[in-house]
Structure 1
Amino acid sequence: MSPEATAARRSTRGTDHGTGRGARQTPVREPRAPALFLTLLAVCSAVTAANIYLAAPLLSLIARDFGSTPSAVAWIASVAQFGYAVGLLFFAPLGDSANRRRLVAVLTLVTTVALAASAAAPGSGALAVAVFVASAATVVPQLLVPLVAERAPTARRARHVAAVVAGLFTGIVAARVLGGLAGQAFGWRWVFAGAAVLTLALGLATAAALPAERRHRAGSLFAGVAALPGLVRRSPDLWRACLRQAGMFGAWSALWTSLALLLTEEPYGLSTATAGLFGLFGLTASAVAPLAGGLVDRFGAARVVRSAYLLAAVSVPLFWLGGQVMAALFVAAIAIHAALVASHVANQTLALTTTSTPATANTAYVVSGFAGGATASALAGPAFGHFGWGGVCAVAAVWLAVGWGATAARQR
């Protein structure tokens, strides 16, 4: 039996992920992470995750400042996601070998400098470069999640992972809501400057609070990348989690990053600040994450992911109807966030427990998700320009179909 299979058998003993049936838990000796420590990690994840989505609610303001149109600068939002995926490839696998305290501190400093450069960018090209660097360095949450999974008792692992995931998605929502409000009040440049200050404070505080680790190997930036294909090939569960989350996150990204374009143009014509308030519906994520963690611990990942995909499939026609009916957008926003977070908690817990190198497996999982999201976002902008809101909904529907259909075919 391979090391990956042995580790997966040990770490998933309490839950049958294939059938979704709970099994009896055996006592474990892993220390339970203190609530204060989990809270700090969740807040840090919220602040750093928000950096990836700062540009999305500010596209109209950025375009006006640079003398362009919102659809012409929409690609900057997808640049941020591509940057995050690149950062994950090179930095997140170091969690298996490098000193995470030192790594978090260094990445925090790089992110802070890049956000400051974004605030001072003279044009869309310079802004895109700075956003790319900031997003590539802001991978701290994906160094913290494997740490939490390592420290959590087996019977409550998904719940602890969900606590950090809740913080991460709260940050994504805050980026849209507070970013839109602050951008309308003070200008988009001050939003990036404020994010730099928050990132510096929370990142360094988290680095100081991380447990001391006796790791003398610095790790190679390329070793983790080289290990990814073989790791995914040897673990069908990891492969399935990667592809399903890529489909789910792609559908969400296509809809959510384009939503500001719909709301600020006809028939709605909302201001940037008012459109940003729409992101409050995304707070569903914070409520769903702990619930999803409990369901995964009890019923297994497979059943939770199936339910999440069904909910996401229902949300797409609601989003399409929301092109003319605001109430449909309200319901669709709640549904897509609930589906995304439930799927993420289930798939990420499975990814973290299916191999003997959780940080590298987590890298494969999150890179797949964000690559799917970035590609869908990149297609959503032109789709909106050529086909309107219906084109964006079509992109989301295709991503869901591919994510589920490919894995279902492989399973058979």
Structure 2
Amino acid sequence: MTATPATSATTSQLTPAPAATTALTSLPGAGGKGPRTGLLLTVISVCTAITAANIYLATPLLGLIAKDFGVPSSSVGWVASVGQLGYAVGLLLFAPLGDTADRRRLVWMLSTVAAVAVAAAGLMRGTPALAAAVLVACAATVVPQLLVPLVAERAPAERRGRHVGAVVTGLFAGSVAARVLGGLAGQAYGWRPVFFGAAVLTLAIGVLTAAVLPPETRPIRRSHPLRVIAGLPGLMVSSPALRAACVRQAGVFGTWSALWTTLVLLLTDEHGAYAMSTATAGLFGLFGLTSAAASPLAGTLIDRFGTHRVMATGYAAAVVSLPLFWLGGEHLWALCAGAILLHAGFTAGQVANQTRALGATSTPSAANTAYVVCSFASGAITSALAGPAFGHWGWDGVCVIAAVCAVAGWVGGALVARER
């Protein structure tokens, strides 16, 4: 397997816009001053971890929330999909502003709104009110998608995959922390203190990140979110590479979301094969560490072999995980093996598709918005369908939804690739 052709192709596709040629290796601010690369990447990774955790904060706590509200577990499963839907809405409204606005100001403002909404969620006494607070919190939790384009803009083309992979590591680490630490803390102290603690962390890391971000190197001007949103379809039409990345990631993310957001219901079902406690089921989220380990490796492989090979390999791993998850309805070993493969495949696809999307146009923040909105809209739809499917048809119904989404994503991406 030779690396040279793939690397050349990837580099030519991912040439940054003229305004974004400052290399991340120096990260200069005004007058050549700014934080060092290691410090900035570390803070950005931690920020993405903490803020992304808010999207999945309710997932390991669904059983406790249902018990507190006095309703069946299946009737609160839709709160998890509301979080993903809110994130998609926030991406449409705020993420495109990263191309024109001061990202430091956006970071601290959105972090403040998210912190207040997460704290409010911890005070709610009913499912609709909780869902509304989660919707607002996740709509403001788009800070990571303001930071990923910044990293991609300032990274040298030959190391862009590794730098994007480092930030995506934070995203996956946050989802793992939400499930594992959230489940453990919820079992020990209740679900409400978990939300309050997340609010404090969100506010603190938002202020810190805004303080260390380098000054903008491109002109700052007023932007109209509705105008940017109206321009997204045209941006998608003009870039087959962006469309292919969006469709493929929608498929793999929808597959992951259907299985992973519903898994807690399988593990904690009192009449099921496992009947685990919330804390024990939360520990299953440790398999998500596969993502944190795989994302920097995926970034390195992208820089060497190109985005398509890494994406195809990741998609194949996600597809192979599906029969293992189906067997996992009764066999724990299959569930564990499927979780490892699913996270590895999902991570490789995420880093590869996002790297391609960020370099597909001269407006990386707008392209990233289209990409992530497609992903999370697919995730919100499949997780919303998976909850009722589990209630009616059990784990088999969830696996069918995941399989359909995987096939649709791959076939759709292949058709777009043929257009190119």
What TM-score, normalized to structure 2? 0.91
- Cα drift, residue 154 of structure 1: 1.1
Is 1:297 equivalent to 2:303 in the alignment? yes
Is 1:85 aligned to 2:85, yes or no?
Answer: no
Are 2:384 and 1:405 equivalent residues in the alignment?
Answer: no
Q: Report what 1:310 is aligned to.
A: 316
C-alpha separation between the residues in 2 aligned to 1:146 and 1:378? 29
CA contact (8 A) 2:101 2:223 kept: yes
Distance 2:94 2:317 in 1: 33
Alignment RMSD, CA only?
A: 1.7
Secondary structure, aligned partner of 1:68 = coil
Q: Distance in 1 between matches of 2:356 and 2:198?
A: 32
String of CA shifts for 1:324-380, please: whole Å, max 9, x gaps.
110111111111110111000000000000100000000000000000110000110
Cα distance, 1:99–1:29 mapped onto 2, change above 3 Å: closer
Asked whether 1:237 is paired with 2:241, we answer yes
Which residue number in structure 2 is paired with residue 108 of structure 1?
111
Aligned counterpart, 1:148: 151
The match for 1:186 among 164, 168, 189 is: 189
**SS in structure 1 of the partner of residue 410 of structure 2:** helix
Residue 36 of structure 1 deviates from its aligned partner by 1.4
**2:393 aligned with 1:387, yes or no?**
yes
Q: Which residue of 1 aligns with 2:32?
A: none
Corresponding letter in the other structure for 1:235:
S
Match of 1:246 among 238, 244, 250: 250
Aligned to 2:350: 344
| Equivalent residue number for residue 129 of structure 2 | 126
Q: Contact (CA 8 Å) 2:110, 2:141: kept in 1 or not? A: yes
The 2-side partners of 1:18 and 1:253 are apart by 31
- My pick for the range that moved more, 154-163 or 32-41, is 32-41
Amino acid in structure 1 at the alignment position of 2:171: L
- Give a deviation string over 1:157-206, Cα, whole Å, max 9, x none: 01000000001100001100011000100100011100000000001100
**Structure 1 unpaired stretches of 5+:** 1-11, 21-27
Residues 1:290 and 1:229: Cα distance change in structure 2 (over 3 Å): same
- Letter of the 2:346 partner, please give it: L
Residue 178 of structure 2 is matched in structure 1 by 175
Where does residue 208 of structure 2 map in the other structure? Answer: 205
Q: C-alpha deviations, 1:206-264, integer Å up to 9, x for none?
A: 01111122644131121220110000000000000000000000000000000000000
Residue 267 of structure 2 is matched in structure 1 by: 263
Q: What residue number does 2:72 align with? A: 69
Q: How does 1:313-332 map to 2 (within 5 A)?
A: 313-332=319-338
Distance 1:29 1:171 in 2: 28
Q: SS of 1:355's equivalent?
A: coil
Q: Which moved more, 1:127-136 or 1:301-310?
A: 301-310
Separation in 2, partners of 1:400, 1:66 = 35
8 Å Cα contact 2:7-2:305 kept in structure 1: no
Equivalence for 1:135: 138
Aligned residue pair count: 394
Amino acid at match of 2:58: A
| Distance (whole Å) between structure 2 residues aligned to residue 73 and residue 31 of structure 1 | 43
The residue type paired with residue 204 of structure 1 is V
2:90–2:140: 8 Å Cα contact kept in structure 1?
Answer: yes
1:370 matched to 2:376? The reply is yes
Taking the aligned partners of 1:378 and 1:48, their CA distance within structure 2 comes to 22
**Deviation per CA, 1:296-321, whole angstroms, max 9, x where unpaired?**
11111111111111111110000000
C-alpha spacing 1:19/1:305, structure 2 compared with 1 (3 Å): farther
Which stretch of structure 1 is more off in the superposition, 402-411 or 225-234?
A: 402-411
